[in-house]
Amino acid sequence: MDLLSSRCKIQITMSKWIIITMTMMMTIGESMRLDLESGITKCISDDIKLNYMTVGNYSIVNPNEALHLPASHKIYVTVTSPKGHSQHHAENVESGKFVFTAMENGDYTTCFVAPGFRPSAKFAVDFEWKSGVEAKDWATIAKRGQINMLEVEVRKLLDVTESVHDEMFQLRERESEMQELNRSTNSRMAALSLLSLVFTLLVAGIQVWHLKSFLERKKLL
């Protein structure tokens, strides 16, 4: 009995460590700091799957919190879908947030535009972009469902598993598309090669006939 209980404790401990490790991996978002200058535009793209929720937070870094940011430290922010549809637009702001569910599959682009000022100003923007499982507000979900943190971690793992499962199916679809494209390309190349060979033989035959006719007219044959 002691041996069995010890094994159970070890398995539970290992499970907790796995959950903690997965949680730490999932909490790592697309957080970054961008350096902007007056009149400069910087864009960032993220591949977001269909029906995935995405959350973005951005704010200008204030080097001196005791002072208000000058007018030169304002930005224009736009978020566009792969087909060019606007998902977020903000003008002359110091900070902001966007939340939306992807209606298209592909690269979504966030652009930060610093208005032109003379003399030019340089400043930094903190930007955090999360999508899919990372974008969910797990604390709110836990409060609404009145569940403990272990159950929350299990739900996170289930969502990650589903996300990986969907990703694998998408990779299979892409692989099938690439194989079909390769087969189509090989068929076209084979047809083109055959056509080139026929055309080459035809030109060679015409040249031989023309040379033979020329030599016969000159009575050399």
Query: In this predicted structure, what is the pLDDT of residue 164?
Result: 77
pTM score: 0.57
Structure-model confidence comparison of residues 206 and 13, the more confident one: 206
Residue 93: the pLDDT is 92
Is the predicted pLDDT of residue 145 greater than 80, yes or no? Answer: no
Look at residue 109 in the predicted model and tell me its pLDDT.
95
Per the CB < 8 A criterion, the answer to whether 130 and 32 are in contact is no
Average of pLDDT values for 119-148? 73
Task: Give the pLDDT band of residue 136 (cuts 50, 70, 90).
Answer: low
Cα torsion 112, 115, 119, 125: sign: negative
Write the pLDDT tens digit of every residue in 13-40: 444 444 433 443 443 455 789 999 888 8
CA–CA gap between residue 210 and residue 1 (Å, rounded): 101
For the cut 50, the answer to whether the pLDDT of residue 217 exceeds it is yes
Residue 177, strand partner residues: none
Q: Cα(first)–Cα(last) distance of the chain, in Å?
A: 108
Per-residue pLDDT at 16: 42
pLDDT at position 108? 94
Return the C-alpha torsion angle 157, 161, 164, 170, nearest 10. Answer: -140
Out of 23-27, 40-44, 57-61, 121-125, least confident range: 23-27
Q: Could you please report the per-residue DSSP string of 145-192?
A: HT--HHHHHHHHHHHHHHHHHHHHHHHHHHHHHHHHHHHHHHHHHHHH
Map residue 219 onto helix, strand or coil: coil
Q: How many other C-beta atoms can be found within 10 angstroms of the C-beta atom of residue 170?
A: 13
pLDDT band at 7 (very low <50, low <70, confident <90, very high): very low
